[in-house]
Structure 1
Amino acid sequence: MQKIVVGLSGGVDSSAAAAILHHQGYEVVGLTLWLMRGKGQCCSEGMVDAAHICEQLGIPHYIVDSRDLFQTHIIDYLVEGYGAGITPLPCSQCNRAVKFGPMLGYASTELNINRIATGHYARVSYNSQCDRHQLKRAVDRTKDQSYFLYDLTQDILGAVVFPLGEVPKSETRRIAAQYNLKTADKPESQDLCLVEANGSMRAFLDKYITGKKGEIVDPEGRVLGEHDGIHHYTIGQRRGLGISAPEPLYVLSIDPGRNRVVVGDRDRMTQTECTIRRVNWVSIAPPSEPIRAEVQIRYRSKPLPVTVVPLSSEPDPQIGTRVRLIFDEPIFGITPGQAAVWYSEDLLLGGGVIERQTT
C-alpha cells in the first residue's frame, strides 16, 4: 500500500482530497501546518477541523509549527513589499516557501514518505519527451488554481498529487457529503488568511507599518490630496482615494522615496510590455528565443496573447531569471509585485514576479 501525506487546512477541498485518496487505497497521513495565531480557516479553527477529519477517516494526523517560516516568508515579505510601494502576491510565495517544500521535507525526513497531496485544483503529469513534470489547469476552469502554483520546482511536482484536478467543485461537496465529512457544508474562505485573521489587509498592515502622511499628486506633480500611508494603496486602485475629480482617477504609481501616490486617468494605466523577475520555467525548459503564449497578470484576469522574450541566460542572484512580456494589445492595471503566469492552452509554461516599471 502506497503511503501519502495530505496537507489538511481544515477546509472542504483538502478534506475531500484526503478522503478520495484514502478510499483509493492509499495509506494516508494528515499534515497540518500551524501558520499563525488567531482565527481563520488556516489557523486554530482549521487545525481542529483537520484533526476531526483525520479521526473520521481513521488516519494519523500531525501538526507542524511553521509560524517562523510564515513570519519570514509571508508576513515580513508583505510588510517589506507594501512599505516599498509594491503589492506582493503572498499565495505563490507561501506555496513555494512555506507549504509544499517544507511539507515534502517533513514527509520524507520525519515520516519516510515521498509523496504528498493537497486539495488544490490543478493537474500534474510527466512528459518523457522533455523529461519534465508538467503543470496543467484543472478541468474545472472556474476553480483552477494553477496560477498560484507556478513557482513549484520539478522535485515538488514529481512528488505531488492533486486529487481534485479532474473534479468539478460541485462534485467535491458531494464527495465530502458522501463520506460524511465534517467539512462538507463548511463555507468557503473568501479572503487571504491574513485578511480573515485581521479583518482587512489594511488592518493587518497597520499592525506592522506606521502610516506617514504624504501627497497624492497627478503625473505632472500637482498636489490633489493627502494620503495617510503609501501601504494603503495599490497600483490600479480606484476607490478610496478621497479625491474629487470630474473623471475617475486610478493609482498609477507609488513613490516611496518621496512618499507620494501618483494618480491619473485610465488611459495612463495601460502598458504594452513589462519585465518579469524570478522566473520559474515549469512545463518546458527555459527557451533561448521568444515564444508565444497567453498570460494572466492576476488570478481572475482573462488570458491574453503575449510574446515572452528571455532577457538573460544566467540568473541574477537577487532577481533570478528575467523575461520581457510584450502584449499584443495594451493591458490595464499591471501591478508590480503580482505574478504574471503564461500558458499554452491548459499547459502552464512559466511565471514570475512583475517588476516595478521605470517608464
Structure 2
Amino acid sequence: MKKVILGFSGGIDSFYTAYLLKEQRFKVFPVYFKVLPDISTEKAEESASILGLGLTVIDLSDEFRKKVINHFIEYYKKGLTPNPCAICNKDIKLKYLYELSKELKADFISTGHYAKVSYFDKWKKNLILRGKDKRKEQSYFLSLVEKFVFQKLLLPLGNFTKEEVVLRAQELGFPFESESQDICFIEGHYVNFLEKFIKPKPGVFVLIDGTPVGKHKGYYKYTVGQRRGLGISYTKPLYVISIDAKRNRVIVGEKKEIQKDIIYVKNINWHLDYEVVKKFDTIQVQIRYRSKPVEVEKIDYLKNGIFCVKLAAKVDAPAPGQVCAFYSNELLLGGGEITTEGEGIWKEVL
C-alpha cells in the first residue's frame, strides 16, 4: 500500500480529499501545519477521526510568520500588493509536505486544491492543469511552486466541483459548515491588520502630472485599480493607478490609465524550460485569481530576471506584487511577480 502525506486543515476540502485517497487504497497520513501559534487543532482532529485517521500536528508558526506574514506586511509597506496564498504554497505548504515525504519515505503528497496533475510523455514529467470547477479552480495559486514538487503531488479534487464536494462530504458525516476565509491569518479587513505594523500617515492623491486632487489617510489602505472609497471630488471617476510609498503619494487617473497591454513580470518560475515555452502556439496570462485569461502576443526577456509581456488586449490594473500566471489553455506553465522594474530596462533595450 502506497503512502501519501496529506496537508490537512480539517476543512471540507481536505476531509473529502482524505476520503478519496482512502478509497483509492492509499495509506493516508494527514498532517496539520500549525501556522498560527494560538490556533486550535480540535476541528482538524475531529475531522480526521471521522475517517479513522490519526492527525499529526507540526508547528510551522515561526516559518509562516517569517515567510508569509512578514512578506505580506513588507510588501504593503512598499506600496505593493502581495499574494500570501501563492507564497504559502511555495514556501510553506507544498515545500514542507515534500520535505516530510522524503523524511518519512512516502510515495506521494496531496492537498485539497481544486486543480489537476497530469503526466506528459512529451516532457516526461507531471504538470498542473486547471480544475473542473471554473469558479473555484486554484491552479493559479500553484504557479510559484517549484516543478519538482509536482512529481509527487496528487490533487484528487481536480475533477470535482465545490458543490459536489460539499454534498458528498456532508453525506459522509462532515460535521462543520463549509467556510471560506480569504487570508487565514487575518480576521476582518486587512487594513485593520496592517495598522498594527504600519503607522497611518496622511498624504496626497495626485494625478499622473503631479497635480494634487485630495488627501489620503495612509497609502497602504489603497490598491491599484481601486475606485470606491477614495473620497475625491473630481470631474470624472478616478482610479488608483499606482502607489508611491517613498513619497507617500497615491497616483490616480481615469479608467483608461489603469488599462495596460504591456506588463513586466520578474522571477518567473517556469514549469517547463523557457525554450520549450517559447514554442507554444498559444499562451495566456492571468493577472489575479479569478480574472479572465488574456492572450499573449509576445514575451521578451529583458535582463535581471525580468520579462516584458505584450498582450493581445488590455487588462485592468495589473498590480505590482501580484502573481501573474502563464497558461497554454488548460496547462499551467508557471508564474512570476508583476513589477514596474522593467519599464526602465525596456527603454534601455530600445
TM-score, normalised via structure 2 length: 0.92
Q: How many residues align?
A: 341
Q: Which amino acid aligns with 1:92?
A: A
The C-alpha deviation readout for 1:156-201, integer Å capped at 9, x for no partner, is 1011110101112222122212321224xx13214211333xx110
The C-alpha deviation readout for 1:304-325, integer Å capped at 9, x for no partner, is 111341416xx85xxxx43221
Contact 1:276 / 1:322 at 8 angstroms: preserved in 2?
yes
**Structure 1 runs of 4+ off > 3 angstroms?**
288-292
Summarize the alignment of residues 83-98 of structure 1 with structure 2, pairs less than 5 Å apart: 83-98=77-92
Gaps of 5+ in 1: none
* Equivalent residue, structure 2, for 1:235: 224
Asked if residue 354 in structure 1 is aligned to residue 341 in structure 2, the reply is: no
The C-alpha deviation readout for 1:96-115, integer Å capped at 9, x for no partner, is 00111112212321x33241
| RMSD over aligned Cα atoms | 1.8
What is the rounded CA distance, in whole Å, between the counterparts of 1:174 and 1:187 in structure 2?
A: 10
Aligned to 2:129, the other structure's residue is in SS state: strand
The C-alpha deviation readout for 1:81-127, integer Å capped at 9, x for no partner, is 11111111111111000111112212321x33241111100011121
* Equivalent residue, structure 2, for 1:26: 26
The 1:261/1:7 distance shift into structure 2, 3 A limit, reads: same
Q: Please report how far the alpha carbon of residue 329 of structure 1 lies from its aligned counterpart in structure 2 after TM superposition.
A: 1.8
What is the rounded CA distance, in whole Å, between the counterparts of 1:73 and 1:216 in structure 2?
A: 32
Aligned to 1:55, the other structure's residue is in SS state: helix
The C-alpha deviation readout for 1:6-47, integer Å capped at 9, x for no partner, is 111121011100111112211111101111145xxxx42xx2
Contact 1:279 / 1:352 at 8 angstroms: preserved in 2?
yes
Q: Which amino acid aligns with 2:289?
A: Y
What is the rounded CA distance, in whole Å, between the counterparts of 1:271 and 1:237 in structure 2?
A: 15
What is the rounded CA distance, in whole Å, between the counterparts of 1:26 and 1:290 in structure 2?
A: 38
* Equivalent residue, structure 2, for 1:139: 132
Asked if residue 280 in structure 1 is aligned to residue 269 in structure 2, the reply is: yes
Aligned to 2:283, the other structure's residue is in SS state: strand
Asked if residue 188 in structure 1 is aligned to residue 179 in structure 2, the reply is: yes
Q: Please report how far the alpha carbon of residue 66 of structure 1 lies from its aligned counterpart in structure 2 after TM superposition.
A: 0.8
Q: Which amino acid aligns with 1:124?
A: V
* Equivalent residue, structure 2, for 1:164: 157
Aligned to 2:123, the other structure's residue is in SS state: coil
Contact 2:6 / 2:97 at 8 angstroms: preserved in 1?
no
Q: Which amino acid aligns with 1:307?
A: E
Q: Which amino acid aligns with 1:285?
A: D
* Equivalent residue, structure 2, for 1:54: 48
Contact 1:194 / 1:201 at 8 angstroms: preserved in 2?
no
* Equivalent residue, structure 2, for 1:293: 283
Aligned to 2:296, the other structure's residue is in SS state: strand
Asked if residue 244 in structure 1 is aligned to residue 247 in structure 2, the reply is: no
Contact 2:2 / 2:107 at 8 angstroms: preserved in 1?
no
What is the rounded CA distance, in whole Å, between the counterparts of 1:77 and 1:169 in structure 2?
A: 30
Find the partner of 1:339 among 317, 323, 328.
323
Contact 2:135 / 2:290 at 8 angstroms: preserved in 1?
no
Aligned to 1:151, the other structure's residue is in SS state: coil
What is the rounded CA distance, in whole Å, between the counterparts of 2:231 and 2:163 in structure 1?
A: 41
The C-alpha deviation readout for 1:188-244, integer Å capped at 9, x for no partner, is 214211333xx1100111111112221111112121121222111111111111211
* Equivalent residue, structure 2, for 1:155: 148
Identical-residue share of aligned pairs (%): 35
TM-score, normalised via structure 1 length: 0.90
What is the rounded CA distance, in whole Å, between the counterparts of 1:272 and 1:120 in structure 2?
A: 30
The C-alpha deviation readout for 1:128-176, integer Å capped at 9, x for no partner, is 2212321100112221100010112222101111010111222212221
What is the rounded CA distance, in whole Å, between the counterparts of 1:174 and 1:211 in structure 2?
A: 45
Gaps of 5+ in 2: 345-350
